[in-house]
């Protein structure tokens, strides 16, 4: 039976978040916390695979106690079990330390039930790095399948998965051994309106919460701020570009003008596939 | 397989939450369904929470609930275009335990309150719309929601779905409300520095003021405006009967803009930044508009039962009380294993013999009276303003002459008689 772990995160809704103009950091209190939208697609895909092949879906998150809400949201989507690692020692983690902590949690989940597949969202909307998924794959020595926009086949018995990846210049269909890790694009599926059965299950659900002490073989120096080599030297809100040039005239005239500008500034485009 | 609960409460506002809280506390298997993203996300009121009725549900709630400021001063402004007569009361006894009332922001408060019901064991499901009651053999047996496999069953359903209750209407408990039975209120939450608020309203820390606005605040249309102090925001709003807005062809937001620019209000909000805009209907038909509140397997509470005392701007407290009485009736029905209208009518009996029913009866004619006779707001408030101005302007005229002039300005003998008659009538509908 297929056991899928979906890694998720609770994030501030960056559509409405405000930046503190003095410190140039996000004012997290200014926006409600939501399930990272890409992760909703990851969980939905896990649930769809469960329906196709049978099995169970576990979700995993690292976060402060209120992040239980994000796990409940995943139960609404159709996940069976939710795990959360929550501890002061995890605070301040960058993507390296986060992938380490999540890996340790996945190792513990595997002991309860072996994991065949890990699914992550493409990236979080508060960090935009997309590094945690591949980081976990590397640590667990699994093939990382990024930018997946279609899961074509899963064969647990023979231990392989066939997926379609979305690249900048087209699509790529690849076969990978399992277990493997996928990070998925948001167009992979649409998250439907949850059923009442799942809503009631989520309302009653309490996730399994682990602190650092509950995990095994953990090197504390690799956790949280201590385990994070990333240095954020400066964060700022980009200034809105001003001015620009409006091209006027009919379609032919505008095309002519645009062509001239492009030719004039062709060195700007050089180097990318050759101008 | 559809689940069955002892009780389903539709709507997580003060009435629904109070009811679910009491039932869960008594060990009843209760489901609370809310259509908003979370309780409070769609709920609106000016912002005064009455301590007594809230305390009846959760003792000493002020120690942990997200409240804004305890109200130590209540002012009333009778406004003309460029003047106002203000009366008020400020007392330090309201600033200490057990307090009289508080200003609150509903998005925060309701979420907290619903959380307390969940702590007691109520099950809360958000983002779900109840489409209709499931009726079998003349008895409500559950609700149909908009979710896949969304039918749910219960011994009794409590409708706390707010003003305009479509569920009570679909059961035939009331007709579509008329424009003179509902008010439309719009409000803004305006951000201002905490210190600035305290300076402008003559307050110390953890003290609040409420100001009710009459007369020109609603351009003479029957209604009221309000200006309340929160921690670091002000709530400024204005509401008037839908019929008045239609008759005077005024859009609700125009009225709010008008109040914001009124010279009596403008200085209070100067430099503030509007951070939220809200609008909601208020049931103001009073006692005469109350629907049937108990049926076979169903009860109606709060705004859905039109429980608003418009004259005293009370509503959430009546809602909480009705939620408690409904819970009482459900417990009685559970004990008797009889959810018929006859048993559930216990709710109606309790409600109508309490202050809720008494106040609804006391003011049963008041809104209708002031709606029918617009001269109170249109004529008498400006008249009183003018009289005050004349009396207190020192210009060498003797006070006797001033009084004579004021009396002359009331109008002809017939108009004086009318004034006396209107004063008597107003007293009669309020007594």
> B81 in a domain, yes or no?
no
Q: Kindly determine whether residue B148 and residue A193, on different chains, have CB atoms separated by under 8 Å.
A: yes
Name the nearest CA neighbour of B6 among B343, B339, B324, B295. Answer: B339
Q: Kindly determine whether residue B148 and residue A199, on different chains, have CB atoms separated by under 8 Å.
A: no
> B87 in a domain, yes or no?
no
Total domains in chain B come to 3
Residues B172 and B191 in one domain: no
* Range(s) of the domain holding residue A256: 245-275
* Range(s) of the domain holding residue B304: 4-68+104-177+289-353
Long-range contact pairs involving B220-225 (C-beta distance under 8 Å, separation at least 24): B220/B374, B220/B377, B220/B378, B220/B381, B221/B245, B221/B247, B221/B248, B221/B250, B221/B255, B221/B374, B221/B377, B222/B367, B222/B370, B222/B371, B222/B374, B222/B377, B223/B183, B224/B313, B225/B259
Per-residue CA distances from B221 to A239, A261, B49, B255 (Å): 47, 61, 26, 10
Residues B16 and B163 in one domain: yes
CA distance A31 to chain B (A): 13
Please say which residue of B283, B306, B321 terminates a domain: B283
> B91 in a domain, yes or no?
no
Residues B109 and B58 in one domain: yes
Residues A260 and A130 in one domain: no
A193 CB within 8 Å of a chain B CB = yes
Name chain A contacts of B145, Cβ cutoff 8 Å: 196
The pLDDT assigned to A105 comes to 98
Q: How many helices (H) and strands (E) does chain B have?
A: 17, 17
Residues B188 and B158 in one domain: no
The pLDDT assigned to B1 comes to 60
More confident residue, A8 or B2: A8
Residues B51 and B171 in one domain: yes
Per-residue CA distances from A110 to A139, A179, B338 (Å): 14, 11, 52
Q: Rounded mean pLDDT of A219-233? A: 90
Share the mean pLDDT of chain A: 92
**Residue A21 CB coordination number (10 Å):** 9
> B403 in a domain, yes or no?
yes
Residues B279 and B377 in one domain: no
Total domains in chain A come to 2
> A232 in a domain, yes or no?
no
Q: Which of B125, B146, B148 sits opposite A200 (nearest CB)?
A: B125
Kindly state the percentage of chain A with pLDDT values over 90.
76
> A202 in a domain, yes or no?
yes
The pLDDT assigned to A274 comes to 45
Residues 202-221 of A with CB under 8 A from B: 203-204
Name chain B contacts of A204, Cβ cutoff 8 Å: 123
Q: Residue A27 pLDDT > 80, yes or no?
A: no
Q: What is the pTM of this model?
A: 0.89
The pLDDT assigned to B269 comes to 97
**Residue A74 CB coordination number (10 Å):** 31
Q: Residue A275 pLDDT > 50, yes or no?
A: no
Q: What is the pLDDT of residues A138-174, one digit of tens each?
A: 999 999 999 999 999 999 999 999 999 999 999 999 9
**Residue B177 CB coordination number (10 Å):** 20
Residues A49 and A129 in one domain: yes
CA distance B107 to chain A (A): 12
Per-residue CA distances from B103 to A36, B40, B230 (Å): 34, 15, 6
Q: Residue A63 pLDDT > 90, yes or no?
A: yes
Q: What is the pLDDT of residues A97-127, one digit of tens each?
A: 999 999 999 999 999 999 999 999 999 998 8
CA dist., res. A266 & res. A183, Å (int): 36
The pLDDT assigned to A146 comes to 96
Name chain B contacts of A197, Cβ cutoff 8 Å: 149
Give the residues of chain B that fall short of pLDDT 70.
1
SS3 for A13-79 is: CCCCCEECCCCCCEEHHHCCEEECHHHHHHHHHHHHHHHHHCEEEEEEEECCHHHHHHHHHHHHHCC
What is the four-CA torsion angle of B281, B287, B292, B298, rounded to 10 degrees? 60
CA dist., res. B190 & res. B204, Å (int): 19
Give the CATH number, domain containing residue A177.
Answer: 3.40.50.620
DSSP assignment of A150-165 equals: EEEEEETTTTEEEEEE
Q: Kindly determine whether residue A195 and residue B147, on different chains, have CB atoms separated by under 8 Å.
A: yes
> A228 in a domain, yes or no?
no
Can you tell me whether residue B211 is helix, strand or coil? Answer: strand
Per-residue CA distances from B340 to A40, A124, B135, B294, B425 (Å): 44, 53, 13, 9, 42
DSSP assignment of B116-139 equals: HHHHTT-EEE-S--EEEEEEETTE
Give the residue on A whose Cα is nearest the Cα of B145: A196
CA distance A201 to chain B (A): 10
Q: Kindly determine whether residue A203 and residue B124, on different chains, have CB atoms separated by under 8 Å.
A: yes
Residues B27 and B164 in one domain: yes
Q: Residue A24 pLDDT > 80, yes or no?
A: no
The pLDDT assigned to A271 comes to 60
A29 CB within 8 Å of a chain B CB = no
Q: What is the ipTM of this complex?
A: 0.87
Axis crossing angle, helix B346-353 with helix B316-336, rounded to the nearest 10: 150
> Which residues of B lie inside 8 Å of A (Cβ-Cβ)?
3, 31, 123-125, 128, 145-152
């Amino acid at each position: 039976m297929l056991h899928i772990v979906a890694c998720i995160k609770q994030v501030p809704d960056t559509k409405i978040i405000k930046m503190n103009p003095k410190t140039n950091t996000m004012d997290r209190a200014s926006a409600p916390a939501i399930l990272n939208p890409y992760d909703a697609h990851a969980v939905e895909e896990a649930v769809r695979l469960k329906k196709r092949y049978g099995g169970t879906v576990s979700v995993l998150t690292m976060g402060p106690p209120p992040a239980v809400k994000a796990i409940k949201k995943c139960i609404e989507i159709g996940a069976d079990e939710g795990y959360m690692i929550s501890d002061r020692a995890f605070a301040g983690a960058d993507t390296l330390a986060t992938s380490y902590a999540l890996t340790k949690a996945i190792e513990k989940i595997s002991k309860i039930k072996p994991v065949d597949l890990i699914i992550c969202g493409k990236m979080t909307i508060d960090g935009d790095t997309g590094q945690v998924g591949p980081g976990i794959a590397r640590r667990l020595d699994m093939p990382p399948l990024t930018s997946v926009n279609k899961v074509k086949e899963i064969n647990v018995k023979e231990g392989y998965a066939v997926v379609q990846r979305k690249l900048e210049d087209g699509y790529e269909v690849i076969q990978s051994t399992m277990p493997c890790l996928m990070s998925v694009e948001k167009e992979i599926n649409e998250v439907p309106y949850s059923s009442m059965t799942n809503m009631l299950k989520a309302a009653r659900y309490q996730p399994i919460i682990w602190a650092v002490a509950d995990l095994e073989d953990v090197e504390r120096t690799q956790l949280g701020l201590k385990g994070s080599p990333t240095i954020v030297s400066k964060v700022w809100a980009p200034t809105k570009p001003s001015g620009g040039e409006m091209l006027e005239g009919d379609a032919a005239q505008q095309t002519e003008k645009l062509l001239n500008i492009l030719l004039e500034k062709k060195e700007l485009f050089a180097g990318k596939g050759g101008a | 397989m559809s689940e069955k609960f002892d009780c389903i409460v539709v709507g997580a506002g003060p009435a629904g939450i109070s009811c679910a809280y009491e039932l869960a506390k008594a060990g009843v298997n209760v489901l609370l369904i809310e259509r908003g993203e979370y309780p409070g996300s769609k709920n609106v009121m000016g912002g005064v929470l009455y301590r007594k009725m809230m305390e009846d549900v959760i003792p000493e709630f002020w120690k942990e609930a997200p409240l804004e400021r305890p109200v130590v001063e209540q002012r009333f402004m009778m406004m003309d275009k460029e003047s106002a007569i203000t009366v008020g009361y400020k007392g330090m006894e309201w600033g200490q335990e057990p307090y009289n009332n508080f200003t609150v922001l509903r998005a925060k408060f309701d979420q907290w309150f619903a959380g307390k019901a969940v702590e007691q064991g109520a099950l809360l499901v958000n983002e779900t719309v109840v489409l209709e009651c499931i009726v079998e053999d003349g008895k409500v047996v559950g609700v149909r929601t908009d979710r896949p496999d969304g039918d749910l069953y219960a011994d009794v359903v409590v409708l706390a779905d707010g003003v305009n209750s479509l569920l009570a209407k679909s059961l035939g408990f009331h007709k579509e409300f008329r424009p003179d039975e509902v008010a439309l209120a719009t409000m803004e939450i305006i951000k201002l520095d905490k210190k600035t608020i305290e300076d402008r309203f003559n307050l110390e820390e953890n003290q609040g003021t409420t100001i009710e606005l009459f007369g020109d605040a609603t351009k003479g249309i029957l209604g009221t405006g309000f200006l309340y102090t929160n921690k670091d925001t002000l709530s400024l709003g204005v509401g008037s009967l839908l019929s008045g807005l239609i008759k005077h062809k005024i859009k609700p937001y125009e009225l709010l803009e008008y109040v914001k620019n009124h010279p009596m209000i403008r200085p209070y909000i100067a430099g503030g930044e509007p951070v939220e805009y809200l609008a909601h209907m208020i049931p103001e038909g009073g006692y005469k508009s109350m629907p049937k509140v108990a049926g076979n397997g169903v009860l109606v509470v709060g705004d859905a039962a039109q429980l608003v005392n418009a004259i005293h701007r009370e509503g959430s407290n009546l809602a909480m009380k009705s939620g408690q009485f409904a819970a009482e009736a459900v417990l009685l029905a559970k004990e008797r294993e009889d959810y018929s209208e006859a048993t559930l009518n216990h709710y109606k009996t309790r409600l109508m013999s309490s202050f809720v029913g008494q106040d609804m009866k006391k003011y049963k004619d008041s809104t209708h009276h002031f709606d029918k006779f617009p001269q109170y707001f249109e004529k008498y408030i400006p008249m009183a303003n003018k009289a005050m101005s004349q009396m207190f302007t020192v210009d060498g005229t003797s006070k006797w002459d001033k009084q004579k002039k004021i009396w002359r300005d009331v109008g002809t003998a017939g108009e004086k008689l009318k004034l006396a008659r209107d004063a008597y009538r107003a007293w009669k509908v309020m007594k």
